Amino acid sequence: MIEVQRVNKSFDEIHVLKDLSARFDSGKMNLIIGQSGSGKTVLMKSIIGLHQADSGKILYDGRNFMQMRFNEIKELRKEVGMLFQGSALFDSLSVLENVMFPLEMFSGMTNREMIARAKFCLIRVNLKEQSFNLSPSEISGGMQKRVAIARAIALNPKYLFCDEPNSGLDPITALVIDKLIQEITAEYNITTIVNTHDMNSVMEVGDHILFIDKGVKAWEGSRNEIFDVSDNDALNEFVFASELFKKVKYALHK
C-alpha cells in the first residue's frame, strides 16, 4: 500500500501538484487518469523520487519516503519496478540481458540462476525464445513493452509503476498489455499504479481510479461509478470526450 498525503510540487513558476492526497492498495489496479499535462507523470515521479516533492508525505507501507536517507532509498528501490512511457530498454543490451540487468546488479544469483529467472519472466509476459537475443530496436513496440514489464518484475517488486503503458499501441495490443499488468498485480499482490489517459483501459482494468485535473485530485472511485458522476464537469468532459462513451451512457440511461 502506498499513501500520498498533501503532496505539492512546483517547477520554478508552475505549481504542478496541488495538495494531492491518495491511497493505493496492493493487489489492485490503481489508475491515475487525466488530460495530458495534468501532472500524472509528475505525481508518479514524485512518489518514486525521480522528482523531489516540495511538501507532504509519501508512505510506502507506512515508511515515510520523504525522510529516508540515501541508503534507505536505495534499498526501497529494489522493491520497486517501473514501466516507462517509451519502454526505456537499454539499447546496447539484448532482450534477455535487459531483463538480467537488475538481477546482475542486485540479486547475488549465479549466472545460470539469472538466466533462468530472466527467461521465466520473459515467458510470463508471453515472449517467445527466438526473440530473447534480439536487440530492443529489432522488436515491435508491443514486444518492447512486454520486455519492459519482464524487467520490472524480475526482482519480484512490491510496488509497480506504469507510465502510460499502452500509449502508441494498437487497441488489441494495448488491451493485452493492460490485462497482463492486471494479472501480474493480482498474482503477486503488487501495489500497482498506472498512469493513463485511455478510457478503454479505465473500463477494462480500473479497480481504483484517481482523476487529476490541473494538478488537483478532482475525483476518486471505481470504474462502475465513473459514468454516473453528475457534479463534476471536468471528469465528465474527460470521460465523454469520445463519441463511443457518449453513446454508452445514452444506452445505459434509456
> Which positions touch ligand ADP (CB under 6 A)?
11, 14, 16, 34, 36-42
Between CA 98 and CA 188 the distance in angstroms is 21
Establish if 86 lies at the interface with other proteins (CB under 8 A): yes
Q: Say if CB 53 and CB 9 are below 8 A apart.
A: yes
Q: Which three cell numbers stand for residue 181?
A: 499488468
Closest to 180 (Cα-Cα) out of 117, 119, 125: 125
H or E element that contains 31: strand 29-33
In the bound state with ligand ADP, the residue whose beta carbon lies nearer, of 36 and 130, is 36
Least distance to Mg ion from the beta carbon of 179, Å? 22
Establish if 38 lies at the interface with Mg ion (CB under 5 A): no
Query: Which of 75, 113, 138, 220: binder of other proteins (CB under 8 A)?
Result: 75
In the bound state with Mg ion, the residue whose beta carbon lies nearer, of 41 and 144, is 41
Establish if 74 lies at the interface with other proteins (CB under 8 A): yes
Query: Which of 41, 46, 87, 201: binder of Mg ion (CB under 5 A)?
Result: 41
Quote the strand ranges of the chain, DSSP E. Answer: 2-11, 14-24, 29-33, 55-60, 63-64, 80-83, 159-163, 191-196, 208-213, 216-221
Only segment of 1-9, 102-110, 118-126, 236-244 that touches other proteins (CB under 8 A): 102-110
Q: Which three cell numbers stand for residue 145?
A: 513493452
Q: Which amino acid belongs to residue 239? A: V
Closest to 183 (Cα-Cα) out of 214, 146, 212, 232: 146
Which of Mg ion, other proteins, ligand ADP, none does residue 7 bind to, with CB < 5 to 8 Å depending on kind?
none
In the bound state with other proteins, the residue whose beta carbon lies nearer, of 138 and 237, is 138
Residues forming contacts to other proteins in the complex (CB under 8 A) are 45, 48, 50, 73-78, 80-82, 84-86, 88-91, 101-102, 104-106, 161
